[in-house]
């Protein structure tokens, strides 16, 4: 299947080259596209000087706008799968195989790489995949700070209350989508801190969302955009956004009509 790796990038000049090169060495059959969100450092120049495919946005859209741009690009260029990966080196390309298998096998529309699935065997939507990839998992995996883990656990419970589904790592930006999910997100995608809201949007519209256990690493360079004070705003805003997503009208025939119009090959899903 034709696969695109989407890498959102804002001020990642110190890591973007090594991240892309590692992906290309590990999975040479996939295409990579860096989407530069008006970086103020040399991210764009570093991509151009090293031949990395890059799309540079004319205005800063934030992570949601960048990822949605990637999905639009993937749909227009007839990719079967789009994978979102960070530009700071946290996402391990060796985990891509585990992420893609449920889509290759037709068992999922959206796959999320979870840092916590191998620790807590709760998520019935992914247990059938767990043992298959256990041997590929390093002994240690970076799981962020205690405060962030508390926030992730909160979103797990909040999404479960609203949807009946338990997603152990809804904030994970390491995820893969097939054509159905891509088309949904070209129609409906959050602007700020979109990961938990996107999960709720997918579940609300009946997409098959599964998780697979993955290892993650500490960022190679740069700092997180969510500081301690901003984390309070993040929790409030995203909690409300997830609630709104749980009550939105379904896209239904609009989604599949859009899919047929843009792809013309509904039978390949």
How many angstroms separate the CA atoms of 81 and 1, rounded? 7
pLDDT of residue 118: 64
Question: In the predicted model, is pLDDT for residue 267 greater than 50?
Answer: no
- Output the average pLDDT for the chain: 85
Tens of pLDDT, residues 22-79: 999 999 999 999 999 999 999 999 999 999 999 999 999 999 999 999 999 999 999 9
pTM above 0.75, yes or no: yes
- Please spell the DSSP secondary structure of 49-101, one letter per residue: HTT--EEE-SS--HHHHHHHHHHHHHHHTT-SEEEE--TTS-B-GGGHHHHHH
8 A C-beta contact, residue 153 and residue 117: no
How many angstroms separate the first and last alpha carbons of the chain? 11
Question: In the predicted model, is pLDDT for residue 124 greater than 50?
Answer: no
Name 56's bridge partners. Answer: 36
Tens of pLDDT, residues 207-263: 999 999 999 988 666 555 555 557 788 889 999 999 999 999 888 755 655 555 544
Mean pLDDT (whole number) for 163-184: 96
- Does residue 142 sit in helix, strand or coil? coil
In the 8-state DSSP scheme, what is residue 172? -
pLDDT of residue 251: 87
8 A C-beta contact, residue 143 and residue 172: no
Mean pLDDT (whole number) for 153-180: 96
For 1, the token pair is 């299947």
pLDDT of residue 253: 56
pLDDT of residue 257: 53
* 135, containing H or E segment: none
Question: In the predicted model, is pLDDT for residue 87 greater than 70?
Answer: yes
pLDDT of residue 147: 78
């Amino acid at each position: 299947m034709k696969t695109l790796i989407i890498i959102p990038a804002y001020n990642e000049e110190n890591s973007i080259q090594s991240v892309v090169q590692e992906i290309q060495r590990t999975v040479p059959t996939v295409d990579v596209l860096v989407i530069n969100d008006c970086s103020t450092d040399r991210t764009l120049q570093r991509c151009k000087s090293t031949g990395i495919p890059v799309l540079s946005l004319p205005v800063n859209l934030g992570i949601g706008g960048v990822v949605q741009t990637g999905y639009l690009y993937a749909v227009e260029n007839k990719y079967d799968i789009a994978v979102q990966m960070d530009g700071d080196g946290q996402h391990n390309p060796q985990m891509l195989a585990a992420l893609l298998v449920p889509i290759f096998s037709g068992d999922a529309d959206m796959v999320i790489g979870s840092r916590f699935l191998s620790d807590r065997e709760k998520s019935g939507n992914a247990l059938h995949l767990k043992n298959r990839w256990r041997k590929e998992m390093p002994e240690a995996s970076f799981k962020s700070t205690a405060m962030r883990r508390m926030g992730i656990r909160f979103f797990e419970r909040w999404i479960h209350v609203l949807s009946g589904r338990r997603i152990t790592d809804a904030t994970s930006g390491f995820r893969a989508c097939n054509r159905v999910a891509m088309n949904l997100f070209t129609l409906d995608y959050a602007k700020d801190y979109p990961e938990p809201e996107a999960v709720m949007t997918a579940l609300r519209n009946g997409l098959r969302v599964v998780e697979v256990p993955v290892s993650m690493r500490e960022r190679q360079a740069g700092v997180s955009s969510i500081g301690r004070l901003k984390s309070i705003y993040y929790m409030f805003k995203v909690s409300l956004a997830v609630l709104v997503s749980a009550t939105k009208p379904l896209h239904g025939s609009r989604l599949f009509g859009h899919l047929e119009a843009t792809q013309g090959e509904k039978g390949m899903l």
